[in-house]
Amino acid sequence: MTDINDIIKREVNPFGVINLKANNFWADKQDSTLMVESIHKEAIIAIEHLLDVVGKDHRSCTVLLVGDSGSGKSYLLGRLKRTLNPKAFFAYILCNWADSSNIWRHILSRTVDSLIQVPEGEKESQLMLWLKSLSAFTKTDIKDKIFKDNFWEALKSSRQRFINHLKETYRRTGIYNADIFFGVLHDLANPELYDLACEWLRGDNLSEDSMKELKVRNCIDTEDAAKNILANFGRISTQTQPIVLCFDNLDTMPQLPEGFLEIQPFFNVNTTIHGDNLKNFLVIISVITDTLKRHLDRIFPADKAGIHRTIQLKNITLEQAEALWAYQLKPLHQLANPRPKSEIFPLNRQILDITYPGGKTMPRNTLILGRDKYQDYKLSLLNGGAGGGSEKTQSELQLLWHKEYKNSKEKITRISSLSSSELIQMLKYAISALQIQAVKPKLLSGTFATYSLSYQHPVNGQKVGIVWTEDLNMKSFYYVMNASQTVIQNNLCQSLYLIRAGDLGKPNLSGNQIYRQIFTATNHHHIKPNLASIHYLATYLSFVNSAKSQELVINGKSITLPRLETLIRESEILNKCTLLGELGIIKNDPPTPLLELIECKDFLFNLVASHHFLGTQTLIKNARSTFNTVSESQINELIQQLCQENKIKILDPKAKPEAQLICLVPQK
């Protein structure tokens, strides 16, 4: 017999930390909180119909997915991907391009990032499935004639034959740079060249040696080239599945000085997709209702006409809200013997009826209400106070940070996987959060302006410039160094920092020579960032995007960007980012080999602080899953340290470990 109340006492709140943030359905493991089939079912049916139309006539079309903050738009995109992936290729594109002058390059990069993902139930990436499904290879007579019995062996062995065959097959479709494009597609079948081919397709700035391996002379470094390469994907796939471009959270795009989003360039892009022969795309644009209303009159009428259908997400019924609660509570109920008679125990339908007398609500509100009422019930079992306030807010922030930081570490394994524009954007948000004054983008002029920024030094008041380039191509490095030298000659800043982890080129190259002139025995500095610093910056950017999209919820409250900046400063989380210390913006915590143990100890405290009461074994299990290099004995030692510091307390230390409860000690 395992009483449900005993389980409630020891387990974490099944509603967790409610945070329906912008969710990349490929890169992030999507939570299952909204897996109630009836929710937004009409929207899924309507979008599937549009997808079927594109699949038949191959004319691209756009659907606007509109909903209030917390209505589950990002989650719906994930459901669409899981539901419709067998009949389409899906790309997730967060609208957080660093500058509106590189929207096409951002779209291409994110599309290829998605295409190299492996769908559920498949062994190969979407990109390889797309390549193999092209009509050039699926027609029986062609396949037999050109490749006989072994398709991939023939493909690998005759590059020029492959290129000529595709050029002949698609000669009427107007392929952009056909020899180069088809040559790179050929390289996808070579395991030794696959990664390089993907990097070229996504628009990475490759080194000269890498381009030589791919037999290409240039990278995709202009908006027109990016647009045409994206068009190539659609033009040669009209006899296979459509590509679905999911644009999520328009609120993350650049802002104009007057506070409006720079939205018109994006809708120019959408109109171009329909008018410039970009075939076989279904475009889904997810936007908050208030954001759309505020910007509707800033979109040209011709671009509004490029939206074929608008789907407004409806509020959910109380029956659907009840089903959400039941879904969340089911794993908890399965631990109990006997199981509760009600599927939503310890909650009840009366809570919903009283809170939402109109009979409608939104998914996020339902989950927040469920979490709060569940916590109230748990505390009533233990005669504990409700708690909350700033301490709990900080605890939840820290827990969210640990989760997001872990995601960043898994996604970003090398600095060069991010573009220089993305890196400088991440840095800009971090230093702005730390109240650095006069932060301005584009210190450099010209093509590489988005690689730079400037700010006022917090101590001496001087203007500091930062240039961040990780481009592997030495020609690009030369142009960046040349632009940097112009900045110094024109006295546009008193001190210049170059951030670059990559190679500086051979001493005889012009870029290296200018580099030495600028950074040798001068008041200008070169910093080589470590990967951990990038993880900190990327994690904070994720929080920023969620706050801008009104999807960041901490301690039951929606967190705005200014509020997030305040919380980040109070938490001093960014003090662990060594890059910010090397720039002199903050004072880093002293380095220690025991850093992970310190972080694990903080995690243990914050988890107890967030839940007030937890089972000892539950606490250990959660810590082990978050810090897999910390042993159980070390975690037990950290728990004892927290007890000795009078921060937490084991209520029944003589009980068996599985029966022990740990509670938060109120601080005076």
pLDDT, tens only, 549-565: 888 989 888 899 999 99
Half-sphere exposure of 336 (CA within 13 A, CB side): 22
Q: What average pLDDT does the segment 432-453 reach?
A: 95
Is the link from the previous residue into 86 a cis peptide, with omega within 30 of 0?
no
Q: Strands 613-615, 661-664: parallel, antiparallel or unpaired by DSSP?
A: antiparallel
Beta-carbon contacts of residue 432 (< 8 Å; ≥ 6 apart): 439, 565
Burial of 222 (0-12, 13-18, 19+ CB in 10 A): middle
Long-range contacts of 625-630 (CB under 8 A, 24+ apart): 626/402, 626/403, 626/406, 626/600, 627/596, 627/599, 627/600, 627/603, 629/596, 630/596, 630/597, 630/600
| Partners of 152 in beta bridges | none
- Total residues found in the chain within this entry: 668
Amino acid at 139: K
Q: What average pLDDT does the segment 510-532 reach?
A: 96
Superfamily of domain 44-119+241-312: P-loop containing nucleotide triphosphate hydrolases (3.40.50.300)
Architecture of domain 415-531: 3-Layer(aba) Sandwich (3.40)
Task: Tell me what pLDDT residue 148 has.
Answer: 47
Task: Tell me what pLDDT residue 147 has.
Answer: 45
Report CA torsion sign: 540, 546, 547, 548: positive
Task: Tell me what pLDDT residue 20 has.
Answer: 47
Give 242's DSSP letter.
-
Q: What average pLDDT does the segment 643-660 reach?
A: 90
The confidence band for 219, taking pLDDT boundaries of 50, 70 and 90, is very high
Every domain of the chain and the residues it spans: 4-18+315-386, 44-119+241-312, 134-236, 415-531, 595-664
Half-sphere exposure of 439 (CA within 13 A, CB side): 16
Task: Tell me what pLDDT residue 154 has.
Answer: 61
Per residue in 123-149, pLDDT (tens digit) is: 999 999 998 888 777 765 544 544 444
| Maximal CA-CA distance, the chain | 83
- Confidence check: pLDDT of 270 > 60: yes
Task: Tell me what pLDDT residue 556 has.
Answer: 83
- Confidence check: pLDDT of 191 > 70: yes
Of 49-63, 130-144, 333-347, 534-548, the poorest mean pLDDT is in: 130-144
Q: How far apart are CA 321 and CA 349, in angstroms?
A: 9
User: Which fold does the domain 595-664 belong to in CATH?
Assistant: Arc Repressor Mutant, subunit A (1.10.10)
Q: How far apart are CA 238 and CA 278, in angstroms?
A: 10
Q: Using an 8 Å Cβ cutoff, are 543 and 552 in contact?
A: yes
For the chain, give the percent of residues with pLDDT over 70: 93
Mean pLDDT across the chain: 90
Task: Tell me what pLDDT residue 22 has.
Answer: 57
Q: Using an 8 Å Cβ cutoff, are 578 and 533 in contact?
A: yes
Residue 498: name the closest of 490, 541, 512 by CA.
512
Per residue in 19-76, pLDDT (tens digit) is: 545 578 887 665 544 568 899 999 999 999 999 999 998 999 999 999 999 898 988 9
Give 180's DSSP letter.
H
Task: Tell me what pLDDT residue 140 has.
Answer: 54
Per residue in 229-252, pLDDT (tens digit) is: 999 998 887 778 999 999 999 999
Of 108-117, 146-155, 262-271, 605-614, the poorest mean pLDDT is in: 146-155
Print burial letters for 29-60: b (CB count within 10 Å at least 16), e (below 16).
Answer: ebbebbebeebbeebbeebeebbeebbeebeb
The confidence band for 389, taking pLDDT boundaries of 50, 70 and 90, is low
